[in-house]
Amino acid sequence: MEASGKRWIIHPSRKDEFKIWNLSDLHMMSRACAEGEIDKDIAQIRDDPYSFWFGGGDYVEFIGATDKRFDPDCVAEWVSVKDLSRLGELGYKKIRDKFAPIKHKCLGLLLGNHEKHYCQHNEQNDRQTWLCTELGVPNLQYSALADIVFVRTTCSGPKQVYKAPSSSNRASATFRFYLHHGAGFATTPGGKLNKLIQFMQSFEADVYMCGHVHDKVGRKEPTIGANDDCTKLTAKEKVGVISGSYLKTYAQGVTTYGEQRGYRPVCLGAAWASINPETGKIRVEV
């Protein structure tokens, strides 16, 4: 687990509201990957000055010919037979090029179980480091805590991620994120939600993001406390989100492993948290 430090986002107005996306479970290289939906969301993040993002892992399917799960009918048509001998290089270059237009808005990249499994069994554990270095973004490994500091200033420059604040005396608001690729094999809505609740009860943060289970779920957890004098009750809400997937469970002309197991269809695309730094209000968008 990584304690990955702070990122600063400079903005001019009290009314500004930001979207923090969790792009997870893309599963590129699969024939059932909705790559057009990936491109649409990336374009939205690129064009919206108030959108920033974390990468949630499982960017590439990474199921090669030596994997017992391999099914040639499920491999994307743009992957050649020759490519199967260099899936690591091909897949990571594909991720890099896909994320390149929005790398300046990236808050960090998680490692997913598909990348972890492939790299571990092919002695390529440096691939995640290579990807983050190529894009110039923080490496969050499999799970991490990350702080986003929104700094309000009168400057009219672009809204972007800064590695250090330009001034310490400007109005700011800090929000802590807990990021995890996700875990478990739950197929029911309640089972998927239980893992998110477990994260929310085990780690201190304001926003919790995970993926892996290919669903879109939002959750609010209120906590009751008291003011500094312990004379008045206070309430604070933390929010959690399970991000969706870009892998179709059912796709025309291909039989996925999800179809074989009778999984529910999934909502394609990513989820995000909307944050107003001035009011401290956070809401989950699924």
Give the CATH number, domain containing residue 8. Answer: 3.60.21
* HSE-up (13 A, CA, CB side) for residue 180: 20
- The backbone torsions φ and ψ at residue 10, rounded to the nearest 5 degrees and listed phi first, read -90, 135
The token pair at 139 is: 């490496």
Distance, CA of 275 to CA of 147 (rounded, Å): 13
Mean pLDDT estimate for the chain: 91
pLDDT the model gives residue 276: 95
Can you say how many angstroms the Cα of residue 209 is from the centroid of all Cα atoms in its chain?
A: 7
Residue 285's pLDDT band (cuts 50, 70, 90): confident
Domain interval for residue 94: 2-285
CA distance 33 to 247: 5
Most confident among 136-140, 235-239, 256-260, 265-269 (mean pLDDT): 136-140
Mean pLDDT lowest among 24-28, 185-189, 251-255: 185-189
Contact indicator for 45, 161 with CB cutoff of 8 Å: no
Identify the burial level of 202 via C-beta atoms within 10 angstroms of its C-beta, where 0-12 means exposed, 13-18 middle and 19 or more buried. Answer: exposed
pLDDT tens per residue, range 184-200? 888 888 888 999 999 99
Residue 12 has pLDDT above 90, yes or no: no
Most confident range (mean pLDDT) of 101-110, 164-173, 261-270 is 101-110
Residue 159 CA to its chain's centroid (Å): 20
Q: Which residues, in sequence order, are CB contacts of 155 under 8 Å at separation 6+?
A: 10, 12, 166
pLDDT band for position 54 (cuts 50, 70, 90): very high
Higher pLDDT, 7 or 162: 7
Per DSSP bridges, beta strands 143-152 and 139-141 are: unpaired
Residue 169 has pLDDT above 60, yes or no: no
Question: For residue 148, which of 195, 209, 199 has the smallest C-alpha distance?
Answer: 209
β-strands 207-210, 172-180: how paired?
Answer: parallel
In angstroms, what is the C-alpha Rg of the chain?
20
Using a pLDDT cut of 90, give the percent of the chain over it: 65
Tokens 């479970």 -> residue? 25
Q: What confidence score (pLDDT) does residue 159 get?
A: 64
pLDDT by residue (tens digit) across 77-110? 999 988 888 888 999 999 999 999 999 999 999 9
Instruction: Give me the percent of the chain exceeding a pLDDT of 70.
Output: 94
Q: Residue 92 contacts by C-beta under 8 Å, 6 or more apart in sequence?
A: 60, 127, 130, 131
Tell me the average pLDDT across 154-163.
65
The winner for highest mean pLDDT among 71-85, 131-145, 257-271 is: 131-145
What is the mean pLDDT of the segment spanning 128-142?
Answer: 96
Instruction: Name the residue with higher pLDDT: 189 or 27.
Output: 27
What total of structural domains would you count in the chain? Answer: 1
pLDDT of residue 68: 84
Per-residue pLDDT reduced to its tens digit, 57-68: 999 999 888 888
| Stretch 238-247: mean pLDDT | 94
Q: What is the pLDDT of residue 123?
A: 81
- CA geometry: angle at 9 spanning 134 and 177, to 5°? 80
Q: Cα dist. 237→136, 144, 276, 283 in Å?
A: 33, 20, 14, 10
Residue 166 has pLDDT above 70, yes or no: no
Tell if the pTM clears 0.85, that is, is over it. Answer: yes
